[in-house]
Amino acid sequence: MITPAAPGATAPHSIKRRQITGFSNPTVKFIRSLRDKKHRKREGKFLAEGLRLLTDALESGRVPETLIMAERREAHPLLAALESAVAAAGGEVIETSADILAKIIGKSNPQAVAGVFDQFDTSLAAFDREAAPIWLVAQALRDPGNLGTMLRTGDALGAGGLILLDDCADPFSVEAVRASMGAVFTQRLVQAQWDEFQPWLRGERGQLVAASLRDAVPYRGAPYTAPCFVMVGNESQGLPEAYEAACDLRVTMPMRGRADSLNAAVAAAVLGYEVLATFDSRK
């Protein structure tokens, strides 16, 4: 049963909510446009959907600049907390019809809520490799679900973040953000070309590791050292040979069946957990 929210039921009285009633409202159009990569890039914003994801963002210190929700919805303490945080940060809280919200988020759900965030600085210069013992690296990763899953795995591993090399899926797409299960707000995101990454990597200490079939040692018990950069390649092509050759350590994982590779996000996870176990065993 859906109970219309009484005024003030889900947020302090002081919070102003802007009502939007028209499909052609520019704010509605703007938020909706963030489903599209070109618009996200131009605006430097992205969209995260769902109370759980937005709560993860808040708990990670990320407050949306705009919060949009349906005018008839059940009250929820987490939503009230979100509203308060957005208002306190000078953001805007928007109420609209379930129909208009459905147009924005692409599905009908009267409990839906979405937030607009600024994209993060994803430059190589902006992060400190010594902040974590493990970093995940993906080259030309095309599937946003794999990308989000790698972020989620990185969070679980205690990795510092995910470095996206060359032409990867957009980490700020709705699909990648969703698959990250909130890790897009906790993991560092870096975007770089290989030609920038290589000199950056070699400027300080850091071990580049990849699964490979050539000139490799067993992944189990390999001499991993921190900060360790665990790299996986494109879903259908794998890593370019030159990238494998540039690694400090090439490892093999058992392949007992017909296939000669794992899903990219799976390979990163199996390898990442091995690195973590190695580091833990030395403590």
Instruction: Provide the binding-site residues for its own copies, judged by CB under 8 A.
Output: 56, 59-60, 145, 149, 152-158, 179, 181-183, 186-187, 220, 253-259, 261-263, 265-266, 269-270, 273, 276-277, 280
Report, in Å, the least distance between residue 152 CB and its own copies.
6
Report, in Å, the least distance between residue 75 CB and its own copies.
22
Report, in Å, the least distance between residue 133 CB and its own copies.
10
- Nearest Cα to Cα of residue 129 among 159, 100, 153, 107: 159
Chain-centre distance of CA 140, in angstroms?
Answer: 16
Q: Which two tokens stand for residue 189?
A: 């995101």
Q: Is the C-alpha dihedral spanning 251, 257, 260, 265 positive or negative?
A: negative
Q: Say how far apart CA 229 and CA 201 lie, in whole Å.
A: 9
Residue closer to its own copies (CB basis): 65 or 175:
175
- Nearest Cα to Cα of residue 101 among 47, 142, 141: 47
Report, in Å, the least distance between residue 267 CB and its own copies.
8
Residue closer to its own copies (CB basis): 198 or 252:
252
Residue closer to its own copies (CB basis): 33 or 252:
252
CB 47 within 8 A of CB 115: yes
Residue closer to its own copies (CB basis): 145 or 240:
145
